[in-house]
Structure 1
Amino acid sequence: MLTGWFSFPDGEATAGDVLALRRVEDVLRRAGVAYDVAWSPGFRPGALHLADLSPARYGHLVFVCGPLHGPQVARLHRRFAHCVRIAVGTSVPDPGSEAVTGFHRVLARDALGAGPLPDLAASAPALPARPVVGVILTHGQHEYGAARRHGAVAAAVTGWLHGKDCARLELETRLDAHDWRLCATPAQLESVLRRLDLVVTDRLHGLVLALRAGTPALAVDPVAGGAKVSAQARACGWPALVAAERLESAGAVELERWWGWCLTSGRVAARQARDEFAAGAGPDGAEELPALLGARERGPRRARHG
């Protein structure tokens, strides 16, 4: 039986814990050793749980990763008292505690008086890359009144994203010089956007800044009938746009269609949009300001000589 903090109902499953488990599983599979894994019901509801298994079925208990301390670990020793109990890749904060002394063998990654070993996660089997997706949503824009669909759009988009096999990164276009969690300058945000595979957004600037960074954007207009997000998508010639009404009727289908496009052809289209922005393609209104402000064109000033 393989257990760890990922097995306890009141524990937690960290990425490091799960990768450490994968390392142990890989070693046991190659050695031809059969095993089961006990998961926390909160993390894997449909998997095997400690509360449901019969300890008598097992001759060995292996505790993987994490610190050896606390009553949860101590209870394992009592419940699996007939088993040979081994801890591997663990930290030992108190060598004299029941959580530690209950094991027949402790292969610690760090312990008092023992040299440290590399964490198990470091040598876990390689993982396939997953898309890294920035998510930029707004829950405001009350100026649109009854046409607002922001709550429904956010719920539909985040619910759909929850089921996607991707790395999600919640982002905010609002700058803040005091909150360490937010970017303080446009350059900081753009540096993040450049490193993403895709941006999912219902914000005008979520769309524009993603394209400016050369990153494809899956945009959703959260206003019934279409508003500034739809208008900006047209202005930028960007096709990956889902209307609020379309999201309500065929949301998953539309989102999946544009998701696939953004991660394939959309990569080229986004880089082309970036290059066009950089070249100043198309009027944006700013060039009219000098005339409206009464400015007159001036030639280069001649240097005065004494």
Structure 2
Amino acid sequence: MHSILSSANCPGGIKLATNFVSVPKVIWLLWLQGWERAPEIVQASQDSWSNRNLGWKVWLLDRDSLATVIPRDQLNWILHSNIPLEALSDLIRLELLHRYGGVWADATTICSKPLDYWLNQFVQEGFFAFDHPGPDRMISTWFLAAHRGSYIVERWREAAAHYWYDRGERDEYFWLHKLFGQIYETDVHFKSIWNSVPKISAVHQFHFSPDSPSLYSPPSPVHNDGLVSPSLPVFKLTHKLSRPTRGDSLMNAIIAFAKQEQITKISLSYRRVLVTWYGSFGHGTIGDLRSMESVVTHLHALGHQVSHATDLDVEIPGCRRVNWRTVDPVLFDCVVFVCGPIIRSHIQSSRLFSRFSSSCIAGVGVSLFSPDHLNYYNPFQAVFARQGADKDYGDVAIVAPKPLKTKRLQRKRNPRIGIVLRGKQAEYGEERCLWAETETLVLRTAWAVTNNMQAEIRAIENHLVHSTGSPDEIEQHYAECDLILTSRFHGAIEALRSGVPFIAIDQIKGGAKVMPLLSRLGWHHVYKVEDVNLDTIAEAASSLLSDPMRSQLLAAGNEAIARANETLQSLSEWVAGVSVR
């Protein structure tokens, strides 16, 4: 058992965790029936999380406000199925942690220690839950913490959606715990992650079951000591009591403890943020879109008032879609441009930057040319660029929310190869852009493998306007493949999002974006077009269809996720420092 009493450096003897990306400072509390009608212990829970976590955004959600954080179609499926009330909250907690990360706390938990004092050292694997509340349950679900892109959350969410597909009732009360255990036994990577998570027992003197007799009695000496100097970070209470409690009861003592205010107060100041991208000009790719969604959802969860300038029909819960050409720049404290190359000769983006030149502007996940290049342009006060700046940040598309899939994907018997081609890139010059040679190589490879293995070929269009499918349908095309051959950077990222092995070819002589960005992830099947031939790529393709290298693929995905979360954290720190207009 991992002890949290490790140092006297912080109040209560808990050592602050440092030197890694922190969990998004978001706390999710839910009382479906409405907070104004919530029992006293639920109100006390809200007070404890708000009072002891200064600098964190605390969301008080109910049935009505869920639409501000969960897409309408997913919310309709969750709320309008024949799912018991407790199971609804199980699905909702996984959906929120998937989309935003942060902390889920049941509305009957009491925060006894500020999260900043202890949590980050326990969530280095991307996930934390209290351990073994009972012999038949590996974890408790009343407190969960996760980074965006957590593998445990992703697999658990997927399994929960499959569980409720075409089902009207659960087979047992602890169905979600049972699913966790089943995934643990069948998924080696899931098992490895959970085994590496530091453990704190869910069973302790401040964990109470419904109608617990001790809640009606005066506090014991142990409970009094625990309230004066808490050693446990979270208490688990219950609102299910059969009779009123007396004034000197343990329940009332805990409620009084929960309502204590901190001496130090921090007034959170939220910013009005406009997020722009290539979709602001009526085009863009699936990678551009997912990057924009990552930034918008991240800032929205932190409490900022976020608008996105999108010409396409894209809706994001709780955020406003605007036209950058007509909206008043003074309505925003800062502007963020997300994803893609920043090109001096690009007329539409230059007009956008000119229109908002009086604003603080940041670039996120962008690529800058070298200062001596004809197309070099840097209009940003802050830049979190994936290449071309002093520090290279991670692309953020990989942690964008995914659609909720209630049906299991049915794989065809014959392997399927997806082809995702970039086409001509004039900004790098005619001599360097070997796009025609690259496309010929990719197509010849696909046909060679098809002849040898009876594989199918599917062309996938990443461009949102040119594609005949919706963004979710584009991603579905990736997921239905067994191998992706691509000359697009985001073709590789989409493959990682879908857990599909890929071969990426940088079509710019000497390497431009694909090679340097993907080589950081540790995936070996990334090549410069001038360094490979048909035999090399065909052999690699046949090998990956026989052995998808799942462990290496997951490692590359985890690296991309870690880099994306670092980028988002740096962005949120910058936004918080922007002056309010």
> What is the TM-score normalised by the length of structure 1?
0.47
Whose Rg is larger? 1
TM-score when normalising by structure 2: 0.26
Structure with the bigger RCO (C-alpha within 8 Å, sep 6+) is 2
